[in-house]
């Protein structure tokens, strides 16, 4: 849905980078980028980290909002 690569999110950019290397797709063979499986896993953790932190801090507000809508008035 995103036509311009400047509007890609960090996760989509990471997926494109890892698909172009041999880190995940071994059938590509040798790549000019020296990215291997441990680096790919670390990059995935770094991109998911901020989203996870926001969810963990906002979780109490999310659950209280869901429970407030379930009460009969």
DSSP calls for 17-73: HHHTSTTT-GGG---SS---HHHHHHHHHHHHHHHHHHHHHHHHHHHHHHHHHHS--
**3-class SS of residue 10:** helix
Tell which residue, 6, 10, 8, 3, has the closest CA to residue 48: 10
The pTM of the full predicted model, rounded to 2 decimals, is 0.59
- In angstroms, how far is CA 46 from the centroid of its own chain? 8
Token pair for 19: 């698909």
Confidence at residue 62, expressed as pLDDT on a 0 to 100 scale:
81
pLDDT digits (tens, 9 = 90+) for 44-63: 899 999 999 999 998 888 87
Tens of pLDDT along 12-49? 888 888 777 766 666 666 666 777 778 888 888 999 99
């Amino acid at each position: 849905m995103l036509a311009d690569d400047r509007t890609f999110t960090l996760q989509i950019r990471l997926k494109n980078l890892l698909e172009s290397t041999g880190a995940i797709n071994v059938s590509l063979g040798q790549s000019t980028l020296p990215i291997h499986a441990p680096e790919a896993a670390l990059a995935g953790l770094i991109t998911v980290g901020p989203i996870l932190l926001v969810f963990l801090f906002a979780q109490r507000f999310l659950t209280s909002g869901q429970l407030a809508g379930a009460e009969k008035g």
